Amino acid sequence: MLFALLCNDKPDHLQLRLDTRPAHLEYLDSLGDTVKFAGPFLGDDGKPNGSLVVVEAADKAAAEAIAASDPYAKAGLFQDVTVRPWNWAIKNPANA
């Protein structure tokens, strides 16, 4: 089952994001095929202010554990994180 991790940064925490980014990317890479796609949300100024990560997990609790283990979350970057079940209906490579 797929889950969207919708993560919003705390205001004025760009430097924390930048400092933690290498560990965040290493963590996502370590998850292998569990991560389907990911990337930052951008503010009107073009700077990152959150993250969208879509993961495959057995259930919501497992997806929440993935979100909680992210170095960004551990560093206190996120103001809030929402984990929602998601159906990849359009242009899903698994359906090609």
Per-residue pLDDT reduced to its tens digit, 1-11 = 999 999 999 99
Structure tokens at 3: 């889950």
CA distance 14 to 11: 8
Contact 60, 85 (CB under 8 A): yes
Return the residue matching tokens 């930048």.
Answer: 18
**pLDDT of residue 96 exceeding 80:** no
Q: List domains and CATH numbers for the chain.
A: 2-88 (3.30.70.1060)
- Output the pTM of the full model: 0.94
CA distance 26 to 69: 12
Residue 89 pLDDT class (50, 70, 90 cuts): very high
The residues, ordered by sequence, that sit 6+ positions from 48 with a Cβ below 8 Å of its Cβ are 9, 14, 17, 40, 41, 42
Per-residue pLDDT reduced to its tens digit, 57-87 = 999 999 999 999 999 999 999 999 999 999 9
